[in-house]
A and B are shown apart, each in its own frame.
Chain A
Amino acid sequence: MNQAESLAQPLSSVPMQAEGVLSLGPAPERPDGAAARPDDAAALLDERDEWLAFSQRAAGAESGHWASSVAFEGMHCAACAGTIEQALRAVPGVLEADVSAAGQRGRVVWDERRTRPSRWMAALQGTGYRALPAHDPQASELRQAETRRMLWRLGVAGLCMMQVMMYAAPSYFTAPGEITPDIMALLRWAQWVLSLPVLLFSCQPFLRGAWRDVRRRQVSMDLPVALGMGITFIVSSLGTFEPDGLFGHEVYFDSLTMFVFFLLGGRWLELRLRDRAAGALEVLMHRLPDSVERRGADGEWTRVVVRRVRVGDVLRVLPGESFPADGALTAGATTVDEALLTGESRPVPRAVGDTVIAGSHNLSEAVQMQVRQVGAQTRYAQVVALMQQAAVSKPPIAQLADRLAKPFLIFVLLAAGAACAWWWPQDPAHALMIAVAILVVTCPCALSLATPAAMLASAGALARRGILTRRLQAIEALAAVDTVVFDKTGTLTRDAFALRQLTLRPGVTREQALALAAALARHSLHPISRALVGAAQAADLRLPAAQGVRETAGQGVEGVVEVAGQVRRVRLGSAAFGGAATASDAGPVSHLVDEEGPIACFEFDEDLRSDAPAAVAALYAAGLKVQLLSGDHVQAAQRIAALAGIDEALGGCSPGDKLRHLQALQGSGARIAMVGDGLNDGPGLAAAQVSFAFGQAVPLAQAQADFVVLGGQLTAIAGAWRQAVHTLTIVKQNLAWALVYNAVGVPLAMLGWMPAWAAGLGMAASSLLVVLNALRLSGGRALEGV
């Protein structure tokens, strides 16, 4: 592998990157045939460079484990998601498989040494579904074909339904004997002919799904529906050809075509709505441009595929284009829209030297930028990876619905059989049609769609305002929260500190102390450490090398540094950690000590974030309790708490103290949301029911929190809480609706008061209602506090 290829890798491993197809100029011909034969296409994916296009190294796992993003074809309800997961997990070498029913996407973690993408894709094909690498052009082509086929099925069912209804109408509006038996027979024949395309073509997805169920000895939504269709058609066909037979001369072709049409119509709308619910995700994922202008060695601008962009390249980004990589502006000034990545909804001015981030929009002027980070290292890629992970996680309520779906379906089959047996002696044809109505009216889809659809819509709304949801479960937990606990440094206060005062040991210069402190501080991500490193860099100091550096989270850093030929063990951190006396009460203080005692004491100015009082007031107004926990000394914590309007403040807490305090609160029944910077409060964030990370300077992938607030607006927390409460209300409405619908529909059908067409309409409508109700969340009005 040459240098260029190895550099190209990180970029191509951004999963949502479309294959490098130039959007300008003559489109390069796709090597045809590869896409036409799926097996060859899957085999191609076994090459490392190819699977990198939709896979990433699995986080936290040993090397050789890959997490691939895939889209699934042929999926339509939660029961399918379960089947796919089982089939994938059965493949040796596949470690994890998470499938999202609402997004028709999933994540497969597999071991490079034991399997290849084509193998687990082939295994899945055996079950009747198809896996495609997400965001490869093939996926969109297939999606288009699937949409067209769906519309075509719906059109056939619709037209045939209308015409069948025409032929059926005379039998409803005339008295027996008014039409001659010959004409009646002719009309029944015509109905039969037009029902054939509906059954053989439009019903295919249901029939195929049912066949798959039978073969795999399982139950999904398709089985009862297909049974209903089959029974109706057989009863009506017998009525057509043997009017004097067991089932009489009654035909039900109008019911058949009508409920097929309603079911297909419901599915079609559901498909479109579901795409919209996943819209925020999709928008974010397609944020990177396909191509960009790059300055060549000769100074000429040429348009290249974004995949080919390397760190250090100079790019020209035109107004209206998106920035393809993280970097700094080298010429020009413009305004950019970073809303999706930081939640900042206003355009932000950017001048020479300012950083721009991949995925943000250039709004006004053509600018030049130098690339600093590409591909998976960009903030954009991290955001997208987080969102993909969240989209496939399953909230507990949804898991419950999934578990209920199967026994429920079995119950429905039994109920249909029982009702049929009960009515049979009276009128066999009527008995069968009652069974059909029961089979069709039940709708576990509404039950299993109720939660994920709402959570996904909500996560989308939050994401558009710069709050990333890492686990969908967290939305449920957030709605139940009654206490919000803030960390101080970098959360309530601004990230950036200014060095205000420096107290030195006699004989030590300011520069020496600062260089020594920065040498240790650069091994830590604590805001004060970053401020020290920043101060040292501003003074252009050469930092000595530090060895054996160890960080005690929330306390300080220690290490061995060689200065002027002397090896010294130096500690940098809080007063307790350094063993020094507390000196100030105005802001954070950091002590630098060695074996001989204090070397220096750094005092910083600390500014409250401007929106902190408003955010705290909003939380109090929502009826939540607010507390401040800080590792800083008590006076500093209380000063900030007073400024922000927080009643309870605890200072001088070590991370262990914070954890104990949270546990004590939880012991007394509080449900806690912890707000921290995502790195330095690890144990606290993990212990709380819900955690927010304000990680502007912290690497996103490392932030251990349920929600990551990208923009750093504290008011987002109250908004997120309102949104979560609203989401849970909608979920409860959905579940209640699904339960009531089934509880009313099934008995009605059993009593014979529900014709098959009404059952089809009811089922389609109940699924739709659930999805539509969930979509109310995607506007995110609760977030704005309206």
Chain B
Amino acid sequence: MDVLYLLVPLSVVLVFFVLGALGWAIWRGQFEDVEREGQRIFEND
């Protein structure tokens, strides 16, 4: 069970990485205007 001493802290670090990725996505505007991006494929340009 000693591996838990490594895995638990590692999972905490992992959560911070995931949080970082989420923050990046939010502040890049990935969650805004979701429908508009879907419609873009119908446009000519």
Please report A residues at the B interface, Cβ cutoff 8 Å. 144, 147-148, 151-152, 155-156, 159-160, 163, 166-167, 180, 183, 186-187, 190, 193-194, 197
Contact = CB atoms under 8 A, between A and B. Distances in A.
A197 B32 CA distance: 24
B20 to A, nearest CB: 11
B9 A159 contact: no
Interface string B24-45: 0011010110000000000000
- Residue among B4, B15, B18, B32 with the highest chain A CB neighbour number at 10 A: B15
Contact of B1 (A148, A183, A190, A193): A183
A147 B26 CA distance: 10
Interface residues of B, number: 17
A257 to B, nearest CB: 12
The main secondary structure of chain B at its interface with chain A is helix
B21 to A, nearest CB: 10
B5 A193 contact: no
Given A183-B4, A186-B4, A186-B8, A194 B26 contact: no
Nearest to B14: A163
Contacts of A183: 1, 4
Given A152-B23, A155-B22, A186 B15 contact: no
27 contacts: A144-B32, A148-B27, A148-B29, A152-B22, A152-B23, A155-B19, A155-B22, A155-B26, A156-B19, A156-B22, A156-B23, A159-B15, A159-B18, A159-B19, A159-B22, A160-B15, A160-B19, A166-B11, A167-B8, A180-B1, A183-B4, A186-B8, A187-B8, A190-B9, A190-B11, A193-B12, A197-B19
A745 to B, nearest CB: 32
Contacts of B4: 183, 186
Nearest to B18: A159
A144 B27 CA distance: 10
Contacts of A163: 11-12, 15
Contacts of A160: 15, 19
Given A159-B18, A159-B19, A183-B1, 18 more contacts: A144-B32, A148-B26, A148-B32, A151-B31, A152-B23, A152-B26, A152-B27, A156-B19, A159-B15, A160-B15, A160-B19, A163-B15, A180-B1, A183-B4, A186-B5, A190-B8, A190-B11, A193-B12
A147 B31 CA distance: 10
Contacts of B31: 151
A190 B26 CA distance: 26
A163 B27 CA distance: 23
Nearest to A166: B11
A43 to B, nearest CB: 29
B27 to A, nearest CB: 6
Nearest to A163: B15
Contacts of B19: 155-156, 159-160, 197
A757 to B, nearest CB: 19
B26 A151 contact: yes
A183 B9 CA distance: 12
A187 B7 CA distance: 11
The main secondary structure of chain A at its interface with chain B is helix
Nearest to B9: A190
Nearest to A187: B8
A194 B12 contact: yes
- Residue among B9, B19, B27, B31 with the highest chain A CB neighbour number at 10 A: B19
A689 B26 CA distance: 51
A147 B29 CA distance: 10
B45 to A, nearest CB: 16
A279 to B, nearest CB: 16
A167 B29 CA distance: 32
Contacts of B23: 152, 155-156
Q: Which 6 A-B pairs have the closest CB atoms?
A: A155-B22, A163-B15, A152-B26, A190-B8, A190-B12, A151-B26
A167 B23 CA distance: 23
Contacts of A167: 8
Nearest to A182: B5
Contacts of B22: 152, 155-156, 159
A46 B22 CA distance: 40
B34 to A, nearest CB: 12
Contacts of A147: 32
Nearest to A148: B26
Contacts of A155: 19, 22-23, 26
A155 B32 CA distance: 15
A695 to B, nearest CB: 39
Nearest to A150: B26
A249 to B, nearest CB: 18
Contacts of B29: 148
A156 B11 CA distance: 15
A152 B27 CA distance: 8
